[in-house]
Structure 1
Amino acid sequence: MKLVKRPEIEAFLAKPQAPINACLIYGKDRGQVLERANLLASKIVADPKDPFNVSILTDSDIDHDPARLDDELTAQSLMGGRRLVRIKFSSEKATLDKAIAASLKAHAAGEFNPDAFFLIEAGGLGTDSALRRQADNDKHVASIACYEDEAGDVARMTRETLQQNEVSLSPEALDIFVARLPRERGVARQEIERLCLFIGPGSKRTLDAKTLEDFLGVEPEASLFQAAQDAFGGKMKPAQAALRRAFAEGEAGTDAVRALSGHFAKIRLIQTLIGQGIGAKEAAKSAGVFWKQEAEFLRQVRSWREDVLDPIARELIETDKACKSTGMPDLLISERLYMSIAGRAKRLGL
């Protein structure tokens, strides 16, 4: 059974009730998947790390021992009370997807321990996934998709966290901060909590835009955002300087590639929205571009032709893999891509 609207998702996670005895939480935003799964687990059992009432499996466990999952769903709690069977599914194997879907169907039908709750965390499952189809269509299973947070979602999360810590941002400062945040839930929450520590929890202090800019200006993440913008803007030396500043502050090659990917995605999104008839300024706003960066973004959007921009998508993936697996210095690998993009931008007239 799909849960789509935020209120119904939050109500279920806060108080899961019968007849639902299983839940699939999936999506590319793995931070949001984990956050929601942890919240739900805490409502099912008193201690989600209790080895007597909680069983945590991975897709590798099921791959090596196909009967393991059904055995865990059948097992009774050693200490009495409700049992949680939690699986972290990240494999792309169709056979595993079907096997877990079959176990989910059987458990939802009451074939295993009725006091067990089956919680599945997965990545971005496509519509061809047997597991997703089973969860979407079974009234005893909650199916929750986790999409990237929109700017409004991030702003709401920021305000709520600041309020809990008895600090705040001015309206202009909030706009600046939200525009800088990544849309991946786990990373964004870490940045918000770090900001709270900077302001001073319980201080009741309100940070203005100037003070916030000073704070962000020395953040490694800010250096990467600037480096990515400079690279796509054809500013080779500033891009290299910002990139090396971020490296000196502890950022890795994979972080640098992620910053490029985020900038690339915004350019493509704005181009798509404009192609659909939406005005350039409105498209930039919808893509989460901060108003002070709007002119530069739109300049790049106009200049980057599709035939030159699209190949970069594959290069971003290949560079990310190379940073993680080749054993070569990841900083040099990512810097080479930055310089390559800056060179192409200059040839486009940027």
Structure 2
Amino acid sequence: MILSRRPDIERFLAKPDGQVRAVLIYGRDAGVVRDRANLLASKVVERPDDPFDVALLTDGDLDSDGARLEGELAAQSLMGGRRLVRLRLTSEKVSLDKMAAEALAAHAEGRLNPDAMFVIEAGNLGRGSDLRKAAEKAAQAAAIPCYEDEPGDIARLVRETLAKDNVALSTEALTLFVARLPKERGVARQEIERLALYLGPGSGRTAGPQDLEDFLGVEPEASLADAASDAFGGRLAEAQASLRRAAQEGEAGPAAVRAMGFHLGRLRRTLTLAKAGAGLQEAAKASGVFWKNEREFLRQARSWTLDDLDLLQAEILNADRLCKQTGSPDQLIAERLALGIASRAKRKGL
């Protein structure tokens, strides 16, 4: 069965259905996948880190010993309680996907140890995945897709995590902090814990927006804007560095592609205004170019043409389409796009 609605997922994780023997939790956000798997594990066994009741396997274990997974699922708990078998898949190997699917199907049917719970954590599985199909089809299994957190989910996570250290944020500060957090939950959680240390654990402090100025520093989006400007300016190494910095801050490939499209749009508007008779500097200001970036932007505007931008627009649209395909290497797509733009800029003398 498929559990895709948030209330259904939360209800199941809080009180797992006793008839379900296998649960597949998958999605692009590894942090959400891991959090949900940990919560489920805590409901299945009293001590999720106890090696007598819990077996934890990875891709490497399946690669080195193909029979081990079914062996662990058939084994009984050494302490007499319920047994938990966890499998963490990070590889996209078709052979491992198929192996896990076969084990899930067998276990869901009760052919192994019917009292054991099988929990699988996986990445962004496509519809063609055998493992995903098996979990969705089996009556005694559940498939839980994980999507990016909504702002409300992140806000709740921030409040709950900070409360453990007896610190808090005002409503305005919370809104600001949530807007600036990385999208990936694991990285976001690290930032929240870092904020708790910054505010002083146990201090009882409630911070306002002004208290976060030094902590927040430069906006993550600035890295993407820098990457786009560097690409159109022919500085490939700098563009790649900015893209990777943005990725560490939680900005994925699609956002990077959009940033390059936004920069192209400003160049197009500037050149269109200049063609209509406006001065280049006046046109740049009318296009919203920040004064600190004006000199570099004007350097680029003197080299790129509207025909050049028309050709690049098609490439950016294609990159954006590719990024939205299931399982796409979106960060690599963004870096390849930046490489292509920077190479053209170099040929123009930039």
Is TM (by shorter chain) over 0.5?
A: yes
The corresponding residue for 1:268 is 258
The corresponding residue for 1:95 is 95
The alpha-carbon deviation at position 208 of structure 1 amounts to 1.6
For structure 1, the 5+ residue unaligned runs are 273-294, 322-335
Question: What are the residue-to-residue correspondences of 1:43-62 with 2, within 5 Å?
Answer: 43-62=43-62
Q: Do 1:27 and 1:125's aligned partners in 2 also have CA atoms closer than 8 Å?
A: yes
Say which SS state the counterpart of residue 161 (structure 1) adopts. helix
- Is the alpha carbon distance of 1:340 and 1:67 closer, same or farther for their aligned partners in structure 2, counting shifts above 3 Å? same
Q: Do 1:173 and 1:209's aligned partners in 2 also have CA atoms closer than 8 Å?
A: yes
The alpha-carbon deviation at position 46 of structure 1 amounts to 1.9
Q: Do 1:62 and 1:68's aligned partners in 2 also have CA atoms closer than 8 Å?
A: yes
Question: What are the residue-to-residue correspondences of 1:310-349 with 2, within 5 Å?
Answer: 316-317=331-332, 340=342
- Is the alpha carbon distance of 1:108 and 1:231 closer, same or farther for their aligned partners in structure 2, counting shifts above 3 Å? closer
The corresponding residue for 1:126 is 126
Question: What are the residue-to-residue correspondences of 1:56-71 with 2, within 5 Å?
Answer: 56-71=56-71
The alpha-carbon deviation at position 104 of structure 1 amounts to 0.9
For the residues of structure 2 that align with 1:262 and 1:318, how far apart are their CA atoms? 11
The corresponding residue for 1:290 is none
The corresponding residue for 1:85 is 85
TM-score by length of 2: 0.70
Q: Do 1:257 and 1:320's aligned partners in 2 also have CA atoms closer than 8 Å?
A: no
Q: Which amino acid aligns with 2:94?
A: A
1:12 aligns with 2:12: yes
The alpha-carbon deviation at position 89 of structure 1 amounts to 1.6
The alpha-carbon deviation at position 296 of structure 1 amounts to 7.3
Q: Do 1:21 and 1:140's aligned partners in 2 also have CA atoms closer than 8 Å?
A: yes
TM-score by length of 1: 0.70
- Is the alpha carbon distance of 1:105 and 1:234 closer, same or farther for their aligned partners in structure 2, counting shifts above 3 Å? closer
CA RMSD for the aligned pairs? 4.1
- Is the alpha carbon distance of 1:236 and 1:197 closer, same or farther for their aligned partners in structure 2, counting shifts above 3 Å? farther
For the residues of structure 1 that align with 2:106 and 2:216, how far apart are their CA atoms? 51
Q: Do 2:231 and 2:342's aligned partners in 1 also have CA atoms closer than 8 Å?
A: no
- Is the alpha carbon distance of 1:60 and 1:260 closer, same or farther for their aligned partners in structure 2, counting shifts above 3 Å? closer
Equivalent of 1:231 in 224, 227, 234: 227
Q: Do 1:228 and 1:263's aligned partners in 2 also have CA atoms closer than 8 Å?
A: no
- Is the alpha carbon distance of 1:257 and 1:169 closer, same or farther for their aligned partners in structure 2, counting shifts above 3 Å? closer
The corresponding residue for 2:205 is 205
The corresponding residue for 2:177 is 177
- Is the alpha carbon distance of 1:95 and 1:215 closer, same or farther for their aligned partners in structure 2, counting shifts above 3 Å? closer
Once the two structures are aligned, what percentage of the paired residues are identical? 49
Offset from partner CA, 1:45-69 (integer Å, 9 cap, x none)? 2222222211111223223322211
For the residues of structure 2 that align with 1:269 and 1:263, how far apart are their CA atoms? 10
- Is the alpha carbon distance of 1:210 and 1:236 closer, same or farther for their aligned partners in structure 2, counting shifts above 3 Å? farther
Q: Which amino acid aligns with 2:332?
A: I
The alpha-carbon deviation at position 119 of structure 1 amounts to 0.9
Say which SS state the counterpart of residue 114 (structure 1) adopts. coil
The alpha-carbon deviation at position 308 of structure 1 amounts to 5.2
For structure 2, the 5+ residue unaligned runs are 263-287, 291-296, 298-308, 324-328
- Is the alpha carbon distance of 1:128 and 1:174 closer, same or farther for their aligned partners in structure 2, counting shifts above 3 Å? same
Offset from partner CA, 1:49-107 (integer Å, 9 cap, x none)? 22221111122322332221111111111221111111112222223222211211111
Q: Do 1:261 and 1:316's aligned partners in 2 also have CA atoms closer than 8 Å?
A: no
1:149 aligns with 2:157: no
The corresponding residue for 2:305 is none
Say which SS state the counterpart of residue 144 (structure 1) adopts. strand
- Is the alpha carbon distance of 1:234 and 1:67 closer, same or farther for their aligned partners in structure 2, counting shifts above 3 Å? closer
The corresponding residue for 1:21 is 21
Instruction: Count the aligned residue pairs.
Output: 294
The alpha-carbon deviation at position 257 of structure 1 amounts to 4.8
Say which SS state the counterpart of residue 84 (structure 2) adopts. strand
The corresponding residue for 2:33 is 33
The alpha-carbon deviation at position 127 of structure 1 amounts to 0.4
